[in-house]
Structure 1
Amino acid sequence: MDNDVIVIGAGPAGSTAAREISSLGWNVLLLDKSRFPRDKPCGGGVTIRTDELLPFSLDPVIEDVVYGAHLRLRDGRIVTRYTKKPITYMTQRIRLDAFLVEQSQRSGVEFRDGIAVTHVRRLAPDQFEVIDRSGEKYTSRVLIGADGANGIVSKNLGYENPIERAIAIEGNMPFFNGIPEEYKGMVGLNFGLVKGGYGWIFPKGDHLNIGIGGWKINVGNSLRSDLANLCDIYGFDFSKLEQIRGHHLPLIRPGTLVSAGGSAVIGDAAGLVDPLSGEGIYGAIASGVSIAPSVDNFLRGQSTALDDYHFFIADSIIPDIEKSRALMEIFHVLPDPFVWLLQHSDRFWSPAGSLIRGETTYSEIVNHFGKVLGSSLGPISKLAQLVSGRKAQLRSPDCQ
């Protein structure tokens, strides 16, 4: 074999997995189709719990630290809340991803950018072949797909993820003399424009990231005009919005396989996105960290070791995603009661801040508000699905 491990995709999931595995003494090749540094459509929020997963500081790429939010409701009311502790960090993917790749290289990872993989195949349970656009072939004992929701690893190896897709569009509003004061250390969230979604304004060093997203079935082809409306509501000139891009958000369902033999998918390729917030960087880095011990054991001869990664996702990540999905269904249909509680109840706002920081989980939040909320969460979520007009589709993957 040319390599012990090949990781396809050098976003936060891929670079983290590559670094963690390389630090255990294995030969790792990290491939990405783009030339680095490259940008990605993403709000760029990094939660506190995400930062704590890493053995190094993200300070070099943090552009703002968020302590609160301006929440705007359908009727135009604005609710503003603050916390004493940071809620999240703001960065740009062009800087974050390049920084994470650099850290992986320092751990011994071989990184090749500008390599567009066109086909992968399993030659044996512990033997894989990767072919790029030029026809060059690479082989490895383990293959990890970190190449996004429509990645080549999932397509070629049979990871037909049963995921629902949300869609978002965003752009950057430049401010050459500094961003507006009201957005320094604050985010703006709008819950009145799209059904089953929200708009956002995120602070960066010299610009605001402005975007809007929701379920495909609800927003249809109107997102660009919705984004223009969002800018208008907040007094921004849509014509000055730069780098407008759309992207899909993959959401995993219970029962989805994320590993098979010596292969696995991580991050967006596994659908590890928070349904309520749309945040995916935590799922990316958490899966990158958690897969390393399983890969190490697999390479040491434990043929079923990658099952441990699958069970970790199934037992530790998916239950919280499902709680988030249920809360999302309720919140986007009936946002006013939640926002009222955020505005008037510190007993509600304080856990909400802890949730965003990652100090607590969705499951713990549900338990915090008692058995009534916990027992009613499922039925209320189903009702909210019907009200919002969105139907879930479940399929079982056939990974070989």
Structure 2
Amino acid sequence: MSSEHDDQSRRQDEETTQRPEPFEGDPDQVWDVVVVGAGPAGAQAAYAAAVAGRRVLLLEKCQLPRYKTCGGGIIGPSRDALPPGFELPLRDRVFAVTFSLDGRLSRTRRSKQMLFGLINRPEFDHQLVRAAVDAGAQLRTGVTVSRVEQHGPLVSDRRTVAVVLAKGSGEPERVVRAHAVVGADGSASRIAAHVGVRTHQVDLGLEAEIPVPPTVAEDWAGRVLIDWGPLPGSYGWVFPKGDTLTVGVISARGEGAATRRYLEDFIARLGLAGFEPSVSSGHLTRCRAEDSPLSRGRVLVCGDAAGLLEPWTREGISFALRSGRLAGEWAVRIAEAGDAVDARRQALNYAFAVKAQLGVEMGVGRRMHAVFSRRPGVLHAAITGFRPAWRAFARITRGHTSLAEIVRTHPVARRALDRFDRIEEAREERVAAR
């Protein structure tokens, strides 16, 4: 409204009703796609929708750049999923991996070709967001989404979704509307709760960013450490990034105290206990159940919000980038859908695409996690003492193949995994019969 009197009347009306107000501009404005969360999955979804020429709004609760608990390894599938022309802000290039079994039986494997790269997540994520913005997406930070609604008074018609934003203490909520919404708001996602995402596996990752002097940094340059840990399914890592070492461990949720002890012992064993971490953080990773939904109505989820990550290694960046791209592409189709039936068809097609591209990898990863949880020594012996296993590891990290492809095409690997599955089934039957 143009006059001061009209502005005052409008404010009084809003204070009286406490109804959600428009986020900005025309209250009838409807975005084609709203993406919630500006991590790799969300930025990739916003980019994919924006390059298709759609009006895209990207919402992020934090100010950017922001820290994220993550080792920051960029393997081949992550590199291949990046937007065209994207220049990775690599802090180091990895040519060697030291493997150890809870600090014992250490062995280093080396490669003439780069295995993978290492990035700082704040830089990497921020650069992905810039790519989305350059493609035409609009970014709003410091915005928290409280809920989404697909029915009710906030929804202007059956082709829209209301995204309700928390404005602050004592102030009314605001609302933005879109023809499609992508939830990429992390493992504690509110959009995932709306969709009904169910998890099969939850793990706790703890990490420290440890600045080190040049003499220590030089010893780690170009080399990472992977330590198969003392807890079932656990492992630790050291990833060098210039003058800082990213040191972390991950294990099943419910073992918080033991996981913290593992990290403390791990750091002490490495001789790094005397250096003060610049950041210490923790994060839960949630891996979806196989039958968990990926959509509800005109709302899709991707990345951590969908529980999409590799269950054995808990590698999530490549899954975030790939699922984010798919979510952005299918969100455009949902935005164009003229009715609920067509929107549902496009959402199902998104789920089929995710399962075809990522579901098989996750299925094999679950089986490998079961093997690793019970027999870490077997995997350590294979990868450090059996050259074909090391070559397979190198080819996977470079993006030349995948774990699922190796199991599918190599009879020895397939038979070994099948045999372990049978052993596990027999063990579970014995336990159930007691």
TM-score, length basis structure 2: 0.84
Q: Which residue of 1 aligns with 2:177?
A: 139
CA contact (8 A) 2:301 2:327 kept: no
2:234 to 176, 197, 222: 197
Taking a change above 3 Å as real, the CA distance of residues 207 and 300 of structure 1, as seen in their structure-2 partners, is: same
Q: Match of 1:9?
A: 37
Identical pairs, percent: 26
Match of 2:46 in 1: 18
| C-alpha contact 1:61 1:96 (8 A) present in aligned 2 | yes
**Two-structure CA RMSD over aligned residues (Å):** 2.3
Aligned-partner Cα distance in 2 for 1:249–1:228: 20
Per the TM alignment, residue 119 of structure 1 is displaced from its structure 2 partner at its CA by 2.0
Q: Distance in 1 between matches of 2:127 and 2:295?
A: 27
Correspondence for 2:389 = 348
Using the TM superposition, name which of 83-92 and 96-105 deviates more: 83-92
Q: In the aligned structure 1, how far is the partner of 2:327 from the partner of 2:258? A: 38
Name the CA distance, whole Å, in 2 between partners of 1:100 and 1:329. 34
Name the CA distance, whole Å, in 2 between partners of 1:133 and 1:12.
23
2:321 partner amino acid: I
- How far off is 1:56 after superposition? 3.4
Pair 222,375 (structure 1): closer, same or farther in 2 beyond 3 Å = closer
Question: Deviations 1:236-272 (Å, cap 9, x if unpaired)?
Answer: 1166123111100110121111012211000000111
Instruction: Tell me if 1:39 matches 2:75.
Output: no
Q: CA deviation at 1:142?
A: 0.3
Unaligned runs of 5+ in 2: 1-28, 152-156, 168-172
Matched with 1:186 is: 223
Q: Which moved more, 1:163-172 or 1:237-246?
A: 237-246
1:292 matched residue in structure 2: 328
Pick closer, same or farther for the CA change 1:186–1:44 going to 2, 3 Å: same
Distance 1:225 1:138, change over 3 A: same
After the TM superposition, which segments of 4 or more aligned residues of structure 1 sit over 3 Å from their partners?
A: 56-60, 380-387
Aligned equivalent of 1:325: 366
Number of matched residues?
387
Distance 1:274 1:23, change over 3 A: same
Measure, in 1, the Cα distance between the counterparts of 2:418 and 2:230.
Answer: 30
The letter for the 2-side match of 1:372 is: R
The answer to whether 1:77 aligns with 2:110 is: no
2: CA distance, partners of 1:192 / 1:122:
45
Which residue is 1:271 aligned to? 307
Distance, in Å, in 1 between the alignment partners of 2:429 and 2:203 is 17
Aligned to 1:231: 267
Contact 2:195–2:294, Cα closer than 8 Å, also in 1: no
Q: Aligned pair in 2 of structure 1 residues 91, 290: CA closer, same or farther (>3 Å)?
A: same
What corresponds to 1:283 in structure 2?
A: 319
**Could you tell me how far apart the structure 2 residues matched to 1:338 and 1:138 are?**
50
Larger Rg: 2
Does 284-293 or 165-174 show the bigger shift? Answer: 284-293
Structure 1 residue 68 corresponds to structure 2 residue 96: yes
Q: Which residue of 1 aligns with 2:19?
A: none
For 1:290-314, what per-residue CA distance to the aligned partner results, in whole angstroms no more than 9, with x for missing partners? Answer: 2233223223334221211111122
Q: Distance in 2 between matches of 1:8 and 1:159?
A: 16
1:28 paired residue number: 56
